[in-house]
Structure 1
Amino acid sequence: MIIKRVKLENYRSHSNITVDFSKGVNLILGKNGKGKTSILEAISSVMFNTKDRSGKETGKNFIKFNEKSGKIEIEFTANDGRDYILKTEFFKTKPKKQSLTDINGLDCEGDIQENLEELCGIKKGFEETYENIVIAKQNEFINIFKAKPKDREEIFNKIFNTQIYKEMYDGFLKEATDKYTKQIDYLSKDINSLKDNMEDKEEISNFLKEEEVLKESLNTEFSKTTEISTKLSNEIKDYEADEINLKNLISNIEDEENKIEKYSNLLKDNILEAKKAKKAKTIVEENEKPYLEYLEIEDKLKDFREIHTNLLQEQKLNTQYQNNIEKLELSNKTLKTDIANLEENISKNSEKKDSLDKNIAELKSKEEDLTSKLKEYENLLIKLEDLEKTKKKNSDKHLEKKTEINILGKELSAKKDLFVLINIEDIEKQLTVFKDLEKEIKSLEEDKIAFEIEIKTLKNASNELSSKICPYLKENCENLKDKEADDYFSSKISIRTETIEDLKKKIEEKTVILAEKSVFEEKKKQYFELDKTIKNLELSLKTEEVNLKEIELNIKSLDISIQQLIENQEFQDSTSLKEHKKGLEVELKNLNLDEKRENLKNLIESLDLEKEKILKNQSSIENNLKEIDEYCKKIKADTDKNIENVTSEIKIFENKLIELKTSYNEYIKNNVLAKDLENLLLKVEKSIKELYSLRFNKNSLKEKVFSLEDKIKNIKIDELREKFNILKDELNEISKKLGSSQEKIENYKKILEKIASQEEKQKKLLDELKKLEDKSNRANLIRNEVGKMGRAISKYMLSGISNIASLNFNKITGRTERIEWSNDEKDKYVLYLVGQERKIAFEQLSGGEQVSVAIAIRGTMTEYFTNSRFMILDEPTNNLDTERKKLLAEYMGEILKNLDQSIIVTHDDTFREMAEKIIEL
C-alpha cells in the first residue's frame, strides 16, 4: 500500500494543507508544534479507525478552533494495485460523513471499514495490528522490548492476539468449572438432606395395616348401635302422634322465632349501616380541612385566571398606546406655530408685572410683621400636626400588626397540622428500598451485559475451533475441539441465553416497582418544603411580635413629645393652634396683599409657564416622545413578566388542587352517608323495640307449651328420648372414631406416596450428580487444554519471527549472532542475542545492539502480520543519544528498503540522507 496525497481542511492546527508522498522513505521534518503528528493522526483515524491522542473517537476534537467542520482527503494505491480516494468530513453537532471511491469516482460497495481492511492488506485485528505493528509511536521503538515482564506479556499477547486463550481460561471456562463444582456441592447436600428427612417405609406400612383392622371393628359396632337407635325412634314417633296441639304451639313459636331472626338481621344491617355512616362521618371530619382548602384554592385559581385575562387585555392596550405615539408625532408640528404666539404674549405681560411690583413693595413692611408671627404659628402647627399624624399612623400600624400576627398564627397552626400527617420515617425507609432496588437493577443490567459479551466470546471461540485449524499455527490441531467441546459450547451458550431472558424479566418486574419511586420522592420534597415554610412562618411571627412592641414604644414616646410642645403655650392642641393662626390670616388678608400677590403670582406664573412652554417645546419634544416610547416598552415588559408570574402561580395552584383532589373526593363520597347517621340510629332503636315485643310474645307461647307438656308428663317420653340421645351420642362417637381412623389411613397413604416420590427424586438427583461430575471433568479438561494454547501459539510464532529477525540482524550488522525470542512461564517475551560463546538478554545489550535487534524484530513483525508493506515511525529518535540516532538511521535503511512506503515524522534531520522525499513544515 502507498499513500499518495493527504489533504487537510480545518483539521487541528491546519487551515488548508496538501501533502504529497512518494514511494520509498518519506520524511516529514519540522520543529515541535508545526502539526507533523496531526498529519499522521489524520491517516490513523480515518484509514485505520484509531482514537485521537486524547483517547476519544468524536470528530469534535479534530476540528480547528472556531470552525464548524473539518475535512480529510486521502488518495492511496491499495494492495490490489488500484488508486482510491477516502474522504471524511467531521462536524461538531452531528456524526462524521465518509466516502470511499476509486480514481474514476465510483463508490465502493459494502462497509467502508471492511473495504479498508482488505485494501490495506492487514490480515486480522485491524486496529490493534496497526497500533502495535504498522506504526511505531514515540518512545516505543526500543522501550517496548525493555518493559517489565507483566507489561511485555500484556502488550505482545494483544499483538499476537493470544490473550483470548488466557481470557477464556481465567474467564468463562473457570466460571464454568467453578459453577459445576458448586452445583455438585449443592446436589450432594440436597441428596443427603433428602435421605435424612425420609421416614421409615416399613414402619408406616405396619401402622396402615393396624389402622385398617381398627376401622373394620368400628364399622361392625356402628351397625349394631344403629339398629337399636331405629327401634327407639319408632316408639318416639308413636308418642308424637298425641302431641298435635303441642306441635301447633311449637309452630307458632317457630313463626315468632323467624320474625325475631328477621328483625335481628334487620337490626344487624341497620347497625352495620350506622357504623359505615359513623366511619363516613369520621372521614368527612378528617377531610373537611383539605376539602375547604380545595374550595379556597379553586376560588384563588379563578381570581388568578381573571388576572391573567386582564393582563392579556393589557397587552393589547400596550399595542394601542404605541399607535397613539405616532399620533403625538403629528401633533408636534402644530406646536411650532404656538411657540411664536407665546413669545409675543411674554412681551405684553412684562409691563403689567412692573406696575404690580411697586404696589406690593408699599405693603411689604406691614406684611412682614404679620407674616413673622404667622410663620411662628405655622411652624408650631406643622410640628404638632406631624406628631399627631405620626401617632395616628403608629396606632393604625399597631392594629395592622396585631391582625397580621393573628393571621400568621392561624396559618402556622394549619401548616403544623398538615406537617403532622406526613410520616417522613416511612418515606425514608421506602426510598431506601427503592435505592437498593436501583442498585439491584444496575447489578442485573451489568450481569446481562457480561453474559451477552460471554455468549459473543463463546461463539467466536466455537467458530475458531470448529475448523480444527489454529489461526496462527496454520496446521491441523485435532486436539483443539471434539464433539464434547462442541456440546460444551452449545450448552454454555444455551444456558447463558436462558439466564439473560430471566435477567430481562427480573429487570422488567423491578422497573415496574421502581416506577413508584417518584411518588415517595414528591412526598419527601413536600415534607421538607412544609418544614421550611413552618420555620419561616415561626420566624416571621417572632419578627412581627418584636415590631409590635417597637410600635407601642413609639406611641408612648410621641405622647411625651406632644405634651412638651404645647407646654407654656396659648393653646392645648392643634385645633386651638389653628384658631390662633386663622385670626392672623384674616388680619393679613384684610391688607389685600394676597390678592395683589396672587395677581403678581399669576402673572409671573403665566410668564414662567409661557417661557417654560417655549423652552420645553423647543428642546424636549423629541425626548418626550422617546421617554413615552421607552415607558410603553417598560409597561410591555412588566406586563409580560406579570403574565409569566401569574401563569406560574396558576400552575402551582393547579398542582395543589391535584394533591387535594383525593381528600376532596373522599369528603364528597362520604358526606351523604355521614348526614344519614341520625336517621340510621333511629332505625336501630325502632328495630330493638320491635325485637323486644316479639321475644315477649315468644315467651308467652312457651308458657302454653309447658302447660301442655305437664299434662302428658306421665308418658315418660323423656326416658325414651334420653336413651335415644345416648345412642345418638354413641353413634356420633363411633363416627368420630371412624373419621379419625380414615384420616390416619389417608395420612399413612400420603406419607407412603411422599416416600415413593422422595425415592424417585433421590434417584433423579443421583443421575444428575453423575452427569454434572462428568461435565465438570470434561470442562476441566477443556480449560486446561485452552490454557496451554496461548503460550504454545506464541512460542511457535516467536520461533518464526526469531528466525526471520536473525536474518535481518545479520544483514544490517554483518554479524553472525542470532535472535532468540521466548515466552516461558518465568521468562515472558524475553529477547536474547545468542552467539557461539554468549547469550545476552536485551536489557544487557549495548545501545547499538538494542537498536539493531529492535529494528530487525519490528521489520519482521511488519512482514509477518500484514501484507501492506507500509510503516510509520513517529519521532523514532526521541530520548536517543547521537550515537544511537546514527545507528538507528543506518540500520533502519536496510529494513525500510524492503517496504513499498514508509513515513518518518521527526524534528531532527538524522534520516535526511536516506529519504526519497522530504516534506518540511
Structure 2
Amino acid sequence: QKERKISESRIAEIQTDVSLQLPSIQELEQNYHIHSAQAADLRACIGRDETMQREIKNGLCPLLSERCLNMKEGQTLEHYFQFQLSDQRSRLLETENSLKAVATQLTQARLALSKQATLDALLNQLEKAQKDESSCEKQLSQLREDLDKLGDNEQVLDSRRADTARLQLLEVELITARASALKYAQLEPRRLRLTELKDEGTQTRKLYDSDNTRLKFLLQDLAEQPNIESLLLALGNPRATFESLNRQIARESHLLYDLKQQQERHQKLSDETASLKLQIEGWSTLDGKLTETNTLITQTRNDYNSFIVNESLALRLPSLESQLEKIRLETKDSKEKQEELEINYIEISKKYSHEEHNQKRHQLPSLIRQTAQLESELKYTETQEQHLSIQLERLSEVKCRQADKMADRDKLNELHDLADFIRDCLRKAGPHITEAYLHTVSLEANQLYREISGNSLVSLRWELDYEIVLEEEGRDRPFHNLSGGEQMAAALSVRLALLKEFSELRFAFFDEPTTNMDEERRRNLAQQIGRIKDFEQLFIVTHDDSFEGFTDNIIQLPKSH
C-alpha cells in the first residue's frame, strides 16, 4: 500500500504537468519544418544578393554589361539590392524568432508527451497493483476458511502421513518393475536372433546332406568311365559316321533342286538349236549372191576412184567462176584510176617548184619545235590556272571559316565570362545548397526513424559534419553511443532518405536489415519498408520472418542451395 500511495502521488503530479494546453507535436514539427525551410531559402537569397551587390559595377548588369531595363526611373541596382537585403534580413530575423518559439513549444510538447507515456505506465501499474491486492485478499480469506475447517484434527494428518509413506513404497516398487521390464525388453531381440540362427543351421544341414549324396553318384560314374571308353573304341567313332550321314541326307534336297535346274537348261538349249537350224536353211542361197556382188565391185573400182578424186574440184567450180569475174572487174577499175592519176600527175608537175619544196623542208623542224614549245607552255599555263583557281576557292572557304570561327570565338568568350560568373555564384552558393539538402534529408530520415522505432518522442538529425545525432528527452546522443539496433535503424533511415531525395533508381536491395534489432523494431522496420511507394521493386535478403506479413512474394532457399 505504501508503493500504491507513492504511485498515486506521482500520477497526480504528472497530471498537473500534462494538463498544460499545447498544440500537437505533428503541428509543431510541421511549423518547425516550414520555418526551417523558409530560413534556409532566405539565407541562400541573402548570400546570392550580397554576391551580386559586390559584383555590380557602375550600376550595370553583370550578365548583359548594360543598364538593367527592369529598374524604375531614378532607381539603381545598388539601391535595389540594398532594399532587397534589408527586407530579406528582417524576414530572416522574424523567421528565426518564430523558429525558436516553435522549437521551445516542440521541446515542451515532447516532454509532456513523455510524461503522458509515463502517466499511462503508472496508471497501468496502479490498476495491476489493485488487481493483485484484491486477488491476495481473496486468497487470504480462502486460507482462513481452510484453517477453520481443519482445526486440530490429528487423525487426518496421521492418515495423510501414512498415505505418503505408502506412496513412497509404491514408487520404489514401480522403479524396480520398470528396470525388470527394460531387461526383458532387451532379452526378447536376442531370443528372436537365436531362433533365426537355429533355422539357418537346419537349412545348412539339409544342403550338406544333398551335396554328399551327389558326391557318391559322381564317384560311381567315375569308376565306370574306363568301360565306357573301351566300348567307344570298339564302335570306331560312330558319332562321326552318324554326323556324316546326316549331312549327306541334308544335301539330298539341294542336289535334287540342282538336277532339276540342269534339266530345264538342257531343254532350253535344245529348243534354241532347232530354231537356229531353221534360220540356216533360209540363208542357203546367200553365198552365190555374195560372189556376184564381189565381181561387180572389182569391175567398177577404177571408175569409183576417179570420181572420188575429181569430186572436190567439181564442187569448187561455181566459186572459182565468181572469183574470176570479180578479178576482171577490179582490173578494169584499176586501169581507169591509173589513167586519171597520170593526167593529174601531168597537171601537178607543171606547178611544182623544187627550190620552194627544199625551203619548206628546212623550215619544218623549227616550226615543229615552236609548236611543241607552245603546246607545253599552254599545258603549263592551264595547269597553273587550275591550281590557282583551286587555291582561290580554298582561300575563300578559309576566309568564310575564319569569319565563322571569329564569331564563334567571340560568342565563346562571352559564354566563358558568363560561365565563370555562374560558376563563382554556384561555388559560393554551395554551402547553402548543402545545408538545405542536409536539412531535407534530415527531416525525411527523422520521420522514417520514428516510424521504424515506433517512438515519436525521439528526433534524428543529420548534422553538417554528416554525424547522426539522436535527440531523446532533450538530450543529444551521438551515433557511437547508440545500441546496435538503434544504429542499424538510424543508418537505414538516412540511407532510405538519401535514396528518395537523390536517386532515380526504382529498385533497392536490403541485406539483413534487422541485424541487432529487437522484435518491435524489426516489425516496425518491416512495416515501414512495406509502405515505401517511391520504388517499383524492393529485394530483402534476411533470415528473419518479420517480413512475411508485409511482402508480395517470398522465395525460401534451403541450406543445400
The answer to whether the superposition gives a TM-score over 0.5 is no
> What TM-score do the two structures reach when normalised by structure 1?
0.17
Higher relative contact order (CA 8 A, sep 6+): 1
> What TM-score do the two structures reach when normalised by structure 2?
0.25
Q: Decide which structure has greater strand share.
A: 1
- Larger CA Rg, structure 1 vs 2: 2
